[in-house]
Amino acid sequence: MKLTWSGADVEDLRSRGRGLGVADGGPGLGEPGGGGKDGPRLGGPGRGAPRDPLPKRQGEPPINGWAMEARLYAENPETGFLPSTGTLEAFELSDVIRTDSGVTQGGEVSPFYDPMIAKLISTGETRGEAIDALASACDTVLTWPVRNNAGFLAGLLRRNEFREATVTTGFIGEHLDAVTTRPSPAPGTLATVARVLAEPVETTVPDTPWHRLPGFRLSAPADLETRLEVDGAGVTIDLGDTSTDTHALLQPVSDGHVLVEAGWAYAVSLPRTRTAGAADAVSDGAVRAPMPGKVVSVAVKDGAQVASGDKLMVIEAMKMEHTLTAPMDGKVTGLTAQAGAQVAEGVKLMEIVGVEGS
C-alpha cells in the first residue's frame, strides 16, 4: 500500500497553456492561420522567413504567467553530489506538473551516462506560484534505492533568497551545508508512519474501544510511545503527535518501506530483532566506496603505513573522479580493490587499523 498525505490542502494547479502562445487563445505560431488576418503561417510549405513578414512585431507578443524547470539528477547531495546508480525498484514523479523523464520503474541508472533522469516543469500566474508548485512536486520524488537531488531542490526553492531573486552564482557554495544536509523527518510524520506500519492491513477498521483508544492502559495514562527504525537507527515516537506541515510519501519496497519527506528519502521499519553479536556500527577505519564506479588507481598496498589524509585510491563514475583518503593514522589491511575493477556503492575496499596513540 502506497500512502501519500499532506499537512495542508494542496491547490490544484491548472495548466493555462499561456506564455508561449497568443494571449487571446488564438492559433500560435506554426498553426494554421497563425500568421494573422492575411499573413501566411510561419513555416508553411514554400514559405521562408527572408521573404514573409512575421506575424508579430517586436514587443507585441505578451508574456502571461511563469514557467520554471528543475533538473532531477541521480546524485547524492550529502556526499558532495556524487553519482548514485542502480535499479529503480520504486520510481515516483509528480502528476500535478509536467515531468519529462527517460527512465521508468525497473530501469537502471548506469554509471556510464549523464546522471540526469528527469526534468520537472511547473507553471503559475506568478513566479511565486511556479516556485510553490515546483517545490511541492520535488517533495515526493522517489527513485529508490538510487539517491537523487530532490531534497536539495525543494530546500533551495523555499529559501527566501531564491523567492526574492537575490541569489548569486556563489549562493550554493556559501550555504552548502544548509542546502545539502538531510534533516530528520518531522515527529508528526514519523508518528503517522508508525501508526500505519503497526496496523494490520484491513479493508475495514473494527469499531471497538481498542481501536478508538490507542495506548489505553487500565488505571494509568495512555502509553502512546513506540519505537521506529529510521535508516537503521532506533527513534522514539509519540503516536499522539499529529502535527505536520510537509508533504510525505510512504512506499513499500522489497526490504521494508521508504519514507519521502520534503524530497529526502529514509528507510523506515518497525524495530527488528537483532541476532546476538551483530555489529551495530562500522569501524571508524573502514574505507568504503562512496559511489559505484571504476577504480582508476590504488596508491597503497596491504600493510602500508599511512597518515590521516593520505591518498589511498581514485574512483571514477560518470566522468567524475573521487579521491579516497585515509580517515586516520594507521596500517592498511584487507585491501580488496585493484585498478580497473568495478565497485558498488558502500563496498568495503580496505581498512585502516589505528596505531597506538593515534
Q: 286-332 pLDDT, tens per residue?
A: 888 887 788 999 999 999 999 988 999 998 876 678 888 888 889 99
CA distance 116 to 197: 33
Residue 28 has pLDDT above 90, yes or no: no
Mean pLDDT of 338-347: 83
Say which residues have a Cβ less than 8 Å from residue 280's Cβ, sequence separation at least 6: 274
Residues of the chain with CATH 2.40.50.100: 286-354
Least confident of 23-32, 172-181, 185-194, 211-220: 23-32
Q: What is the pLDDT of residue 82?
A: 86
CA distance 179 to 177: 6
CA distance 347 to 326: 16
The alpha carbon dihedral of 98, 102, 108, 112 has a sign of negative
* pLDDT tens track for 81-124: 988 888 999 999 999 999 999 899 999 998 888 889 999 999 99
Confidence of residue 207 (pLDDT cuts 50, 70, 90): low
CA distance 146 to 278: 26
CA distance 317 to 182: 23
Residue 39 has pLDDT above 60, yes or no: no
Which CATH number applies to 286-354? 2.40.50.100
Which carries the bigger pLDDT value, residue 13 or residue 236?
A: 236
CA distance 358 to 338: 28
Q: Which three cell numbers stand for residue 83?
A: 553519482
Contact 116, 73 (CB under 8 A): yes
Say which residues have a Cβ less than 8 Å from residue 39's Cβ, sequence separation at least 6: 52, 53, 55
Q: What is the pLDDT of residue 215?
A: 53
Q: How many residues does the chain have?
A: 358
Q: What is the pLDDT of residue 22?
A: 27
CA distance 89 to 144: 6
Residue 14 has pLDDT above 50, yes or no: no
